[in-house]
Structure 1
């Protein structure tokens, strides 16, 4: 279909695909034509099957709506290569994303110009994703994500069945606000209408999300944004083991070294900060502590039961270090003996 469109209309279609709504004045300014020409080109796009809708408001405008068929996407060179690279390395905690990405990439490569196909082929030949243990975990159903995303966009109440961390299963009715990906876990930030409070839901633990058709006025989130809300809730979540320390380093350095959530590291001054760690597995706390230097004259407190677990882990490291030392000493002795034998 696109081969029948003049260059100006292809640019118009590309603009409509870039963002949700354009005013007629914006489109005419971008294309350097009159509003009358824009209206005529819009009508021709509609005649060709593109679902271009008129919007109401003070200025009015146009948007490309969802239709029965997927319209051709118009991409510039950089966009096409970026999408190809993203598809090649797709891994985001979504069930089946790798296989789906491979199919989409195969379709994209078929229509890429030769010059771009060569760039993508070069990237494919020299780069490949490496599955690592710390990036694996629960995966979210892509259809559930799509349903929840639409409900967030439209401010539409949804219902679903939810399983808590304790294994309890029950119905939920919420006003969805946003989805947040905290690799590899996806979270739904929503206001629970039954409990009249904001809550955090793991998407991998919910099933059968169903739109109710009831739209509501968006509530004000008790945080600067959805990502900040998730970070605050995760930082405040109860855990079996806790550890608090004053660290002789600035907060930014401590946060970067320990990979801690923002709420768990707080600055005291330019050179000192506090660190709060919490986990159900003592190994996780030990791993974070190994990245920083804890001075004995600084405040340290936490769960008493954590102490023997940390000591046990420390002894393992100490035994490994001693084994390496003995190995090095053994090699040195072998060298001396050989040199002595050769000299006799």
Structure 2
């Protein structure tokens, strides 16, 4: 019999957080207590704010339902390891949809994991290799979690940084936000040594260290960290204007475009036009457009039109067809 009431309540809560209804008798058997004790423990959970719903019947049943507030989540060892490994795998590659909130969740989870579970997570992570597209730089999840914790805690952050030309430096910053572009992670921060806002590619960061020194958040020059990053990247890169029309509804195309691009303009119900700027290579832009999976015509710039024409011919030859493009249209 489980005589430790707090431990028994945690075990009961862990069972109830499984999305199913538990008969009172089964809970009593799992906890090795009487049904009367189960009823008392259910009442204690309700007093603590957990919305436990009971159903009538010969055995009765209990289910944890959605409430107004998110109660503390109780995980067993296997669940905690599975979530940590999943978050690490996603955070280690700048996969679209894995944003700062996921990294903060990983930082919180790893902070409370017992040492024995942290070792299991590390062993699993080192023994597996995710299948990725290969177009994003891999980064250490420890780097992301340290940086995310500094952002959330408002702590100054030190780190070593390697610029694009290989120059190495030490930076002392007030971290503002982590931003994922779908291929890379960036840190938007105020650089104290340079007395200005900067963006840093996280895959070029090493030895991050939260100093513990708190700071009052400064006002970002632009409305959001994502907009500041977009402007910063475009200032550093040679960008070009492009124009493409798609034989698909604007909503279909917008859902498959990178979030930093402006949405396409509808022409009619079945076609749309995209006019935008890009700092990406022509090769990458061409592949991005082809991945939208609909007929399209590139109008500008001439370099993009020419590259798509050559790419279409190569793809047609690769498929064993005549030496002319079938789906990629340029002109």
Compute the TM-score of the two structures, normalised by the length of structure 2. 0.54
Q: Compared with structure 1, are the counterparts of its residues 240 and 227 closer, same or farther at alpha carbon in structure 2 (3 Å cutoff)? A: closer
Residue number in structure 2 paired with 1:186 = 185
Match status 1:32 vs 2:34 = no
Q: Compared with structure 1, are the counterparts of its residues 237 and 149 closer, same or farther at alpha carbon in structure 2 (3 Å cutoff)? A: same
CA distance in 2, matches of 1:13, 1:155: 36
Residue number in structure 1 paired with 2:285 = 285
CA distance in 2, matches of 1:264, 1:149: 28
Q: Which of these residues, 312, 319, 331, is aligned with residue 310 of structure 2?
A: 312
Q: Compared with structure 1, are the counterparts of its residues 276 and 8 closer, same or farther at alpha carbon in structure 2 (3 Å cutoff)? A: same
User: What SS does the aligned partner of 1:92 have?
Assistant: helix
User: What SS does the aligned partner of 2:288 have?
Assistant: helix
**Offset at residue 196 of structure 1 (A):** 4.0
Q: What per-residue deviation string (whole Å, max 9, x for no partner) do you get for residues 35-58 of structure 1?
A: xxxxxxxxxxxxxxxxxxxxxxxx
Residue number in structure 1 paired with 2:31 = none
Alignment of structure 1 residues 76-95 onto 2, 5 Å: 81=79, 84=82, 87=85, 91-94=89-92
Q: CA RMSD in A?
A: 4.7
Residue number in structure 1 paired with 2:329 = none
Alignment of structure 1 residues 1-344 onto 2, 5 Å: 5-7=4-6, 10-11=9-10, 31-32=46-47, 74-75=74-75, 81=79, 84=82, 87=85, 91-94=89-92, 104=117, 131-135=130-134, 137-183=136-182, 185-221=184-220, 226=225, 230=229, 238-239=237-238, 243-247=242-246, 249-257=248-256, 259-267=257-265, 272-276=272-276, 278=278, 280-290=280-290, 291-295=293-297, 300-302=299-301, 304-321=302-319, 323-324=320-321
CA distance in 2, matches of 1:278, 1:314: 21
More helix by share: 1
Aligned residues: 242
Q: Compared with structure 1, are the counterparts of its residues 88 and 158 closer, same or farther at alpha carbon in structure 2 (3 Å cutoff)? A: closer
User: What SS does the aligned partner of 1:219 have?
Assistant: coil
Question: Does structure 2 retain, via aligned residues, the 8 Å contact 1:157–1:174?
Answer: yes
Question: Does structure 2 retain, via aligned residues, the 8 Å contact 1:163–1:206?
Answer: yes
**Offset at residue 234 of structure 1 (A):** 5.5
Question: Does structure 1 retain, via aligned residues, the 8 Å contact 2:91–2:141?
Answer: no
CA distance in 2, matches of 1:13, 1:217: 42
Deviates more, 1:170-179 or 1:281-290: 281-290
**Offset at residue 162 of structure 1 (A):** 1.4
**Offset at residue 189 of structure 1 (A):** 2.2
Question: Does structure 2 retain, via aligned residues, the 8 Å contact 1:164–1:205?
Answer: yes
CA distance in 2, matches of 1:200, 1:168: 16
Q: What per-residue deviation string (whole Å, max 9, x for no partner) do you get for residues 131-165 of structure 1?
A: 43415642223333333222212212222221122
User: What SS does the aligned partner of 1:188 have?
Assistant: strand
CA distance in 2, matches of 1:169, 1:106: 32
Question: Does structure 2 retain, via aligned residues, the 8 Å contact 1:192–1:198?
Answer: yes
5+ residue gaps, structure 1: 16-27, 34-63, 65-72, 109-128, 327-344
Question: Does structure 2 retain, via aligned residues, the 8 Å contact 1:179–1:189?
Answer: yes
**Offset at residue 188 of structure 1 (A):** 1.7
5+ residue gaps, structure 2: 15-42, 49-71, 94-105, 122-127, 324-331
Q: Compared with structure 1, are the counterparts of its residues 29 and 87 closer, same or farther at alpha carbon in structure 2 (3 Å cutoff)? A: same
Residue number in structure 1 paired with 2:98 = none
**Offset at residue 217 of structure 1 (A):** 1.0
Deviates more, 1:222-231 or 1:177-186: 222-231
Q: What per-residue deviation string (whole Å, max 9, x for no partner) do you get for residues 270-313 of structure 1?
A: 753424363554332222333343458xxx322x4444433322
Q: What per-residue deviation string (whole Å, max 9, x for no partner) do you get for residues 239-298 of structure 1?
A: 5765333546554322334x32343434367753424363554332222333343458xx
CA distance in 2, matches of 1:320, 1:187: 37
